[in-house]
Amino acid sequence: MGQSVREYLLTLCITAAVTYLLTGPVRKFAIVVGAMPEIRARDVHREPTPRLGGIAMFGGLCAGLLVAAHLTNLKGVFELSNEPRALLSGAGLIWLLGVLDDKWGVDALIKLGGQMIAAGVMVLQGLTILWLPVPGVGPVSLTPWQGTLLTVALVVITINAVNFVDGLDGLASGMVCIAAAAFFMYAYRIWYGYGLEAAAPATLFAAILMGMCLGFLPHNIHPARIFMGDSGSMLIGLVLAAGAISITGQVDPDAMRLFTGSVTATVHATVPVYIPLLLPLTVIAVPFADLVLAIVRRTWRGQSPFAADRGHLHHRLLEIGHSHSRAVLIMYFWSALIAFGAVAYSVNSVSMWFVLSIVGLSAVGLVLLLLPRFTPRVPHWAEGFVPPRYRRRRNRIAAAAREVAPEASCDAAAEPVGRVPAGVNGATAIGDRSRFTQQGATPGGGWEKKIRSSR
């Protein structure tokens, strides 16, 4: 087991390193080819940012699979299963579709068709749902058509859920990394805890997915230097769906032999994890909820479900007063709570400590949601060890304002003390973009720019 853990860690590190090293050149390439779309009204960033980050992530995926195929323990996954090749085929198609969309734009219905084709290619190569564990019944075998339709539906739902949540710097890559970590823990337990080799591909997919997200995240955290674009968001969504399909629809729950009794009892014992991973509602619960709410909201307004708007969960967090970084961290928190909570529930679903921990952490999350304007501060002696946003900068901002524009000091004093001028960050970042294109479009525009540069 120790040797396999080291091989997984090596695969993860190689994937992360290749993704990280490729992202810089990909950013320059995106700027050269003009893959920097203009800022839209629903965007949160304030200046054009290159896309095509999915090119680097796809390179990391290929590197991870290549390294794993030559390792002592992991190469058996490629010898006994065709699922890694199926994943690479589907990922290549969805990645190419995303690159075209990032550069020239692709119609929503065409993207939907491409997602279905990519899922169909994986099904043709064996990555499909063969049966479902149903509580009270046991494993239910599916016909080829039923398995194909369910697999395609799961892939499309997961891809679009991840794509919808990709609205803030570092949000999609961080949430999917959290989901992949929880998924890896579960899949690794199924493989080595119960000796089921059918769980090996899903474990490998989760490790590679973590590497892809970790390698890209340093370039994508706020303020982002590059976006993953549809070429990245659809790619990581497909990899996540492939792992869920592999372990949910191809691992026989009766082979776990948790009980010596009936198959029905075995299925009932594994339902807490198997059913959530079916759609997979635990590892991408927040993106899936955002997807459902967006479809209902747009349909209710008489719009297309694929019409873009500013009603996503991350937009609402900004509107109620959370900063960009705080909104991302809050969504990280809820994703980790749901994903790791499901994994813990699969290990011990009757522990009182587990229930109390989930309740306590949920209360903490609710408090964070209700205190959008609370910003912790540190003592003066510790300001050099924390990011600038946690330092006591009130006097420094006021002094810079008086130095640059003494006549504007009255206007500056009229604003709440310690608040950032309008149009800098927070909820104002999703408003009209015209004030960023013309200097002095708002009162005090010139000295506001100098204040920001002095921070």
Annotated binding residues: 163, 230
- CA torsion 250-251-254-255 (nearest 10°) is 130
**What is residue 312's DSSP assignment?**
S
Residues with Cβ within 8 Å of 263's Cβ and at least 6 positions away in sequence, in order, are: 138, 139, 253, 254
Q: Which helix (H) or strand (E) holds 132?
A: strand 131-134
Residue 140's DSSP bridge partners are 132
Q: Binding-site residues for Mg(2+), please?
A: 163, 230
Neighbours of 424 (CB within 10 A): 15
Euclidean distance between CA atoms 78 and 201, whole angstroms: 8
Longest dimension (CA), the chain: 83
DSSP string computed for 250-262? SS-GGGG-S-SS-
The values of phi and psi at residue 382, to 5°, are -105, 5
Pairing of strands 131-134, 138-141: antiparallel
Place of tokens 């590059």: 226
DSSP string computed for 383-420? GGGS-GGGS--HHHHHHHHHHH-GGGHHHHHHSPTTPP
Euclidean distance between CA atoms 238 and 245, whole angstroms: 10
First to last CA, the chain: 50
Euclidean distance between CA atoms 448 and 342, whole angstroms: 47
Residues with Cβ within 8 Å of 346's Cβ and at least 6 positions away in sequence, in order, are: 186, 270, 272, 273
